[in-house]
């Protein structure tokens, strides 16, 4: 049973709302040979000051003097940094950096950043709220749009995993800022965080721990009630939710005073409902071998919602061998060991799925 609980923890830990800083630092500005007609790609460090805190990022661009389409890339949940590395997982070969470099090689400017409380970016002096994320996203978007290498009419927002929910949420909270030219959702949940967490836990208890029938129901019922109580602002005792430390830790992470306002906002947030109201070009990419966000259950839900809202420019692409962080994963989901798979997310020898960057580049070129 201890091993089964370790497997459960490996899955849920990446969803926690922890704000611990990542140990990975950003590279200094430098140029690297790209081997194509655009010349070397260039990294520029970006630091923006927001209400007494600094938000740090990296702008990766083609080395020529032209103006290009540009993407603001928003990372996923927990302590995931701009490169999509996390102190919860081994390795520093994050897909965020790999994707930014691949797009820059293809002629696209990418700005990725450490969201508040991760990497080099500090926390606000007050409990974390969704408005804090919106403030840094809006500032980074404005910085990107004003850059000399960027065509301001072709600036897009892309979000990975929970970052996709941020991207959707941002579109309706831009105020007077110009709207982005389009939206890219990478392994983005198609249901509320509450339902995603519940579904992933239920799957792990059933498939990894072997719970069935009444045992599974008795385990999941208090977890579902706890998630609903947190969203509603009611107190929850993690010890009463589950005897398993991993589940208690997840509940405690949602209830942390430092991030409780954000947890209460995102748990009931339904990305499909919000996407239905948006009318910008949308690209949805979800690997068929993603064990955390389902191409069948989530990506198709997003596509359907966007079309039901009257959006005629919606594209869904499902790379057959891509995992949650868009890297090549040959094993089907049924054969994956969660601990092994997630431990390899940032491994030095793992590269992006070969379909991912070309898919983005082709879509961006059409828009």
Q: Topology of domain 14-192+267-277, per CATH?
A: Rossmann fold (3.40.50)
pLDDT at position 290 over 50: yes
pLDDT at position 204 over 90: no
Q: What is the pLDDT of residues 98-127, one digit of tens each?
A: 999 999 999 999 999 999 999 999 889 899
Beta-strand (E) ranges in the chain? 30-32, 41-50, 53-61, 68-74, 109-113, 150-160, 182-186, 282-285, 314-317
Q: Show me where the domains of the chain are located.
A: 14-192+267-277
Residue from 134, 123, 164, 125 nearest 19 by CA: 123
Average of per-residue pLDDT values in the chain = 89
Q: What pTM did the predictor assign?
A: 0.89
In residues, how long is the chain? Answer: 367
Report the pLDDT value the prediction gives residue 37, as an integer from 0 to 100. 59
| Token pair belonging to 2 | 């201890």
pLDDT at position 3 over 70: no
Residue from 269, 257, 286, 197 nearest 13 by CA: 197
Report the pLDDT value the prediction gives residue 40, as an integer from 0 to 100. 87
Residue from 70, 47, 58, 69 nearest 136 by CA: 47
Q: What does the DSSP 8-state code read for residue 323?
A: -
| Opening angle at CA 171, ends 165 and 177, nearest 5 | 145
The CA distance from 95 to 92, in Å, is 9
Report the pLDDT value the prediction gives residue 39, as an integer from 0 to 100. 67
Q: What is the pLDDT of residues 321-352, one digit of tens each?
A: 999 999 999 999 999 988 899 999 999 999 99
**For the residues 279-302, what does the mean pLDDT come to?**
96
pLDDT at position 229 over 90: yes
**For the residues 205-232, what does the mean pLDDT come to?**
94
Q: Say which residue the tokens 């208090």 belong to.
A: 222
Strands, sheet with 182-186, edge to edge from the N-terminal-most edge strand: 30-32, 41-50, 53-61, 109-113, 68-74, 150-160, 182-186, 282-285, 314-317
């Amino acid at each position: 049973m201890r091993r089964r609980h370790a497997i459960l923890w490996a899955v849920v830990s990446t969803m926690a709302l922890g704000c611990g800083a990542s140990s990975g630092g950003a590279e200094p500005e430098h140029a690297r040979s790209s081997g194509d007609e655009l010349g070397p790609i260039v990294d520029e460090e970006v630091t923006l000051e927001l209400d007494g805190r600094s938000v740090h990022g990296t702008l990766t661009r083609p080395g020529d003097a032209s103006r290009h389409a540009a993407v603001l890339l928003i990372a996923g949940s927990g302590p995931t940094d701009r490169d999509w590395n996390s102190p919860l997982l081994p390795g520093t070969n994050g897909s965020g950096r790999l994707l930014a470099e691949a797009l820059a090689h293809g002629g696209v400017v990418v700005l990725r950043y450490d969201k508040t409380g991760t990497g080099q970016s500090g926390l606000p002096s007050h409990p974390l709220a969704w408005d804090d994320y919106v403030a840094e996203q809006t500032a980074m978007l404005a910085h990107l749009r004003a850059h000399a290498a960027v065509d301001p009419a072709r600036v897009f927002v892309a979000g990975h995993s929970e970052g996709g929910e941020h991207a959707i949420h941002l579109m309706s909270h831009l105020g007077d800022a110009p709207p982005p030219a389009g939206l890219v959702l990478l392994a983005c949940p198609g249901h509320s965080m509450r339902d995603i967490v519940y579904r992933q836990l239920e799957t792990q208890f059933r498939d990894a721990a072997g719970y069935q029938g009444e045992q599974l129901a008795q385990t999941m019922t208090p977890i579902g009630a706890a998630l609903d109580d947190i969203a509603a602002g009611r107190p929850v005792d993690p010890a009463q939710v589950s005897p398993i430390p991993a589940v208690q830790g997840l509940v405690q992470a949602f209830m942390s005073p430092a991030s409780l306002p954000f947890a209460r906002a995102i748990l009931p947030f339904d990305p499909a409902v919000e996407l239905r109201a948006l009318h910008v070009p949308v690209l949805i990419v979800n690997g068929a071998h993603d064990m955390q966000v389902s191409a069948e259950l989530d990506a198709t839900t997003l596509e359907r919602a966007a079309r039901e809202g009257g959006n005629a420019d919606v594209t869904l692409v499902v790379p057959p061998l891509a995992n949650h962080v868009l890297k090549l994963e040959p094993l089907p989901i049924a054969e994956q060991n969660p601990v092994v798979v997630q431990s390899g997310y940032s491994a030095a020898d793992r590269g992006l799925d070969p379909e991912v960057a070309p898919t983005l580049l082709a879509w961006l070129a059409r828009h």
